[in-house]
């Protein structure tokens, strides 16, 4: 969610209405853009190459494009022909941009496009394409690497790429991305559990979470955490020092896109076109609307 009140309420990409600029890209990708200052960062990737790009946020001019070498050269690429190999959204801070690709390649660049460091996390064994996005705070980059075969959470020093710690976990495949809670805490979400780690890798708490092959990232708002997955109830936890479960909801649940919570409201959209609004304090359903079908996560301003 964004704190600004001047977000555009309507636009038309084909006609150009409400569009400031357009820039054609060389390769497709399922990741979302991230912004730091006047720079917009994006990833793209297919069977031929994967790259990180930087644009001028005001004009759309491409400032640089850096190809990320395949750390698993000689081994087969994951088979995800319809989704591409750039599904995770990059993360950035004042010192760099950090990109994880569905090939298992993790790379850090300076804002002017210089490679800082790179690691290969092995090919992820997972259907539809690996999609969990990394997150960064306090000079630490956190990666949630859940696959069919095994799972890991890893933390790297953003300045050097040093592996600070790694924890094995057995949760099965997950497409959910980790989030940062006050503390700071890194929170990883997967089948049956939501786990909070501090910057040193210590488990601060572990609670029951949404079950199944979890795709949505939990929503966080009003000091409440909301893990969700289709086929499993939406859960609400009040988080002070330890999370306390408050309510469940079993209506139209987020399935691919992630929900969002703010101003006492929780919003969820489904890929078959249902938009639901709940009260975060009680779980009461306030309204539902039919909307265009979408796989995208929600944003708000």
Q: Helices marked H in the chain — which ranges?
A: none
Q: What is the predicted pLDDT for the residue at 250?
A: 93
Q: What average pLDDT does the segment 42-53 reach?
A: 94
Half-sphere exposure of 233 (CA within 13 A, CB side): 11
Alpha-carbon dihedral sign for residues 248, 253, 257, 261? negative
Q: How far is CA 289 from CA 233, 259, 286, in A?
A: 20, 15, 11
Residues 143/121, Cβ–Cβ less than 8 Å = yes
Task: Provide the pLDDT confidence category of residue 90 given band limits of 50, 70 and 90.
Answer: very high
Contact 187, 202 (CB under 8 A): no
pTM of the model: 0.94
Peptide bond preceding 184: is omega within 30 degrees of 0, i.e. cis? yes
Burial of 214 from C-beta contacts in 10 A (0-12 / 13-18 / 19+)? buried
CA-to-CA distance for 294 and 254, rounded, in angstroms?
11
pLDDT digits (tens, 9 = 90+) for 177-235: 999 999 999 999 988 889 999 999 999 999 998 888 899 999 999 899 999 998 899 99
Q: For 227-262, what is each residue's pLDDT tens digit?
A: 999 889 999 999 988 899 999 999 889 989 999 999
Q: Tell me the per-residue pLDDT of 260-286, one tens digit each, with 9 for 90 and over.
A: 999 999 999 999 999 999 999 999 999
Quote the tokens at residue 13: 């990409």
Contact (Cβ atoms closer than 8 angstroms) between residue 148 and residue 191: no
For 25-30, the CB contacts below 8 A with 24+ separation are: 25/53, 26/51, 26/65, 27/51, 27/84, 27/86, 28/84, 28/86, 29/84, 29/85, 29/86, 29/87, 30/83, 30/84, 30/86, 30/87, 30/129, 30/131
């Amino acid at each position: 969610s964004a704190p600004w009140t001047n977000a555009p309420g309507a636009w038309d990409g084909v006609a150009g209405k409400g569009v400031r600029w357009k820039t054609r890209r060389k390769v497709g990708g399922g990741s979302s853009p991230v912004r730091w200052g006047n720079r917009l960062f994006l990833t793209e990737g297919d069977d031929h190459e994967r790259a990180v790009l930087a644009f001028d946020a005001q004009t759309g001019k491409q400032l640089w494009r850096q190809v990320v070498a395949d750390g698993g050269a000689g081994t087969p690429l994951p088979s995800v022909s319809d989704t591409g190999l750039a599904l995770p959204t990059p993360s950035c801070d004042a010192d760099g941009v950090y990109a994880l690709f569905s090939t298992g390649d993790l790379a850090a660049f300076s804002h002017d496009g210089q490679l800082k460091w790179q690691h290969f996390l092995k090919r992820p064994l997972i259907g539809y394409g690996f999609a969990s996005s990394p997150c960064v705070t306090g000079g630490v980059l956190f990666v949630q690497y859940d696959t069919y075969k095994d799972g890991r959470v890893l933390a790297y020093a953003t300045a050097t790429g040093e592996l600070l710690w790694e924890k094995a976990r057995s949760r099965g495949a997950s497409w959910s991305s980790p989030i940062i809670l006050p503390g700071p805490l890194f929170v990883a979400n997967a089948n049956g559990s939501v786990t909070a780690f501090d910057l040193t890798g210590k488990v601060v708490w572990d609670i029951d979470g949404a079950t199944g092959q979890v795709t949505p990232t939990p929503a966080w708002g009003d000091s409440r955490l909301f893990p969700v997955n289709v086929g499993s109830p939406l859960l609400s936890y009040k988080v002070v020092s330890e999370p306390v479960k408050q309510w469940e909801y079993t209506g139209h649940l987020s399935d691919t896109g992630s929900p969002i919570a703010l101003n006492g409201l929780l919003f969820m959209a489904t890929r078959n076109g249902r938009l639901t609004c709940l009260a975060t304090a009680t779980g009461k359903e306030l309204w539902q609307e039919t909307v265009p079908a979408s796989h995208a996560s929600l944003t708000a301003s």
